[in-house]
Structures are given as C-alpha cells and as structure tokens.
Amino acid sequence: MAVRLRILVILTGLTGIHSITTVSKVSVKAGGSISIPCLYEPRYRNNLKYLCKGYDWISCSSAIKTDKQSSGRFSISDDKIQRIVTVTIKDLKEQDRGDYWCAVDIKKLVDERKHFYLSVTGDTPALNVDHQEIQGFIGEEITIKCHYSKRGVIKWCRLGSSCVTEPSGSIDGTEVTIDRRVPSVFTVTMSGLRTESSGWYWCDKGGFQMPVHLTVTEKPTTITVAATTLLTTTEPENPPTGSVDEETTTVQSEQLSDSIYVKSFIILLSLLIVIAMVTMFIWLKLKKHKQAKAAASTTTAEVDVTYCNIGEMRKTSGQTSNTQSNVDVMYSSVVFKKPKRALKVESNDDNVTYSTLA
C-alpha cells in the first residue's frame, strides 16, 4: 500500500494533475529580486499555502508559509479575493538557483502543488522587465518592455486566462499589441484599460516567463499652487504613453509639496503683518489719548473762590456812656467754595476775593 501511494505521488508530480497555475521558468540577475504569483482554485481559499524548494517533491523543504509571512529573504502573501499567492525572494544569490513548488496544504491528502524553475545568473537574464509592478489609468494605455536574449515565440499572457502572440490580440476585453522593431526588446501595449484589467501578466519568450503585476486606477487630479500668480494647468497635446515613470511621479510629488510649503508661508506672513498693523494702530491711539490728557491737565487749574457776606446791625442798648454815640456794627462771614469747573486764570494772583454789602 505504501509503495502504491509513493508511485501515485511521483506520477502526479510528473504528469501534473494540478489545481495551481504559475510560471514554468524565470531568469533573474544575482543581487536582484523576483515575485512569483500562484493562482489556486476557490476551494483552497482557506488552506495553508507555502513555497517548497527541491527537485523532488517528496524531499523538498519548505522555505516560507502563509502562517509566517516573512522569513529572512523570503516573503509570502495570500490574496483570498483574487485567489493568488505571491512569493517574493530578495537579494538573490546563485545558490538560490533551482526547483521550487507553489503548494497548498491539504490535510490527510497529497498536497496540491505546481513546479517552476528559478535561474539566477551573474550575466544578463534570459528574459526580464524594467519593473515588475506597474500602474495604469482607466481608459488610457500602457506599455511594457520585455528584454530577451533567447529565441522563440513571443507571447503576452495573463495568469489564469489566455495569451496573445504577435502582432496583436485581446485579453479579457483589453486590446494588446506586440512590437519588436527594437533589437532584443519586444514592447507590449495594452489600450483601453479598465479596472478589470488589473492583475498578473507575464512576458513569454524562449521558454522563459517574467511576471508583471498591473494595477489600473482612476487618474488623479493634479493641482499646481503658485506663490504669486494662479496658473491654469492644461494637459499636453500628446500625453506620454506607457508605464508611469517612478522618477516623474517623485518629482511631481516634490513640486506639490514645495507649493504647499510656499502657500503656508505666505498665509503665515500675511497674518503676522495684520497683527503688527493692529498693534501699531492701538499703540498710536493710546499715545494720542495720553498726550491729550496731559495737555488738558496743564491748561486747567482748580481755583478757590472766596465769597464774603457783610451784614449791618445797629446797637440797641440804651446804657451807653454819655460821651459815646450810637455806633453801627457790621458782621462779615466768609465761605470758601470750589467752582464746578476749572477756570483759566490770566492774572498773577492765585486767590480772588469777592464781597457783597448788605
């Protein structure tokens, strides 16, 4: 029974009763990195996935599993919506060259798996692209340059779907054109991009494949802020096609960041100027008020006024000396009052005396 099971495992590994789809052979330069996508069936959505290294499936060793997303130079991720496991190997060395397996852990049964070969070379790879991750915008087109050094049929394929051979064709409603007028390079142009165009593709030439991941989104609106004038940004007559250059994206981000800093500086400077003007206005008002008050205090003085009331009284006593005659006696009373308001005194005398005779 054990012998029969071993034979079954060997046969399934050789003939390929597989539920996993991936590339068959990739070539990478030493020191670089590579990402390999593996598409699995919906029934394995919740199963454990892993990468196994070794020519023989029975004796291969696990390099990374989805229950441990990273381990040294290896990392793995599982997109359960798209049903794609992506394995990434960084800082490749020549000893990383060899056979690998994308596998799904199936309890009590033989695990599902799919084999691919990884070639690591110090020279130019047999097939490579500028970037494995590219971005496009809805309704526009994008180009991918595939560099090759081997002979063979040229293809552009989508993971889990169909392939297009030169010169043109269609994949899931997206038009594909292949151009190889440049020596050792064939250019793939995808036009009329849609959100559904997002996914994993690969260049295929001479038995090698190179995976490329495409993300299609809405085109962002670019806002340009000027320090002194408001500029209206218009799109160029001939917009560039192809993949979004990372350097251009970085420059645009830096320009937008600088514009925001300039605008913030202008707002802050204007606020400081307004505060300074208000402070100066208040200070001038207070100064003018103090000067007016000081002038009033020097020109006005409090003057004391003296009022005198004099009354005449006749002496009635009859017992007087015969030699003295009747004498009239006058009594006077003086009251000091402050005036209700200060009067400017022109004379040198500080006190003025008024008298009335009754």
Quickly list DSSP for 107-173.
TTSPPEEEEEEEEEESS--SEEES-SEEEEETTS-EEEEEEE-S-S--EEEETTS-EEESSEEEETT
174 and 212 belong to one structural domain: yes
**In degrees to the nearest 10, what's the CA dihedral of 55, 59, 60, 62?**
180
295 assigned to some structural domain = no
260 and 333 belong to one structural domain: no
In the chain, how many domains are there? 4
237 assigned to some structural domain = no
Which of 121, 149, 164 is the C-terminal boundary of a domain? Answer: 121
265 and 341 belong to one structural domain: no
Kindly report the CATH number assigned to the domain that includes residue 90: 2.60.40.10
225 assigned to some structural domain = no
Which of 102, 121, 140 is the C-terminal boundary of a domain? Answer: 121
17 and 110 belong to one structural domain: yes
Distance between CA atoms of 73 and 29, rounded to whole angstroms? 16
Q: Which domain holds residue 197?
A: 127-217
7 assigned to some structural domain = no
Residue 8: predicted pLDDT: 41
Contact 135, 113 (CB under 8 A): no
Which of 121, 144, 166 is the C-terminal boundary of a domain? Answer: 121
DSSP β-bridge partners for residue 35: 88
52 and 137 belong to one structural domain: no
Residue 264: predicted pLDDT: 83
70 and 20 belong to one structural domain: yes
Token pair, residue 174, equals 């997206």
Q: What are the two backbone dihedrals, phi and then psi, of residue 236, each rounded to the nearest 5 degrees?
A: -65, 155
110 and 173 belong to one structural domain: no
294 assigned to some structural domain = no
84 and 63 belong to one structural domain: yes
Residue 195: predicted pLDDT: 93
Residue 298: predicted pLDDT: 62
Distance between CA atoms of 306 and 316, rounded to whole angstroms? 32
Residue 338: predicted pLDDT: 52
Burial of 169 (0-12, 13-18, 19+ CB in 10 A): middle
19 and 106 belong to one structural domain: yes
259 assigned to some structural domain = yes
239 assigned to some structural domain = no
The rounded Cα 249 to chain-centroid distance in angstroms is 13
Residue 101: predicted pLDDT: 96
Residue ranges for the chain with pLDDT beneath 50: 1-17, 226-237, 239-245, 301-305, 315-327, 341-349, 351-352, 355-358
Residue 89: predicted pLDDT: 94
43 and 134 belong to one structural domain: no
At 72-108, the pLDDT tens digits run 899 999 999 999 999 999 999 999 999 999 999 998 7
322 and 267 belong to one structural domain: no
Q: 18-46 in b/e burial notation, b at 16+ Cβ within 10 A?
A: bebbbbebbbbbbeeebbbbbbbeeebee
Residue 342: predicted pLDDT: 44
275 assigned to some structural domain = yes
CA-to-CA separations, 236 to 88, 189, 240, 241, in angstroms, rounded: 38, 21, 9, 12
58 and 115 belong to one structural domain: yes
Residue 289: predicted pLDDT: 85
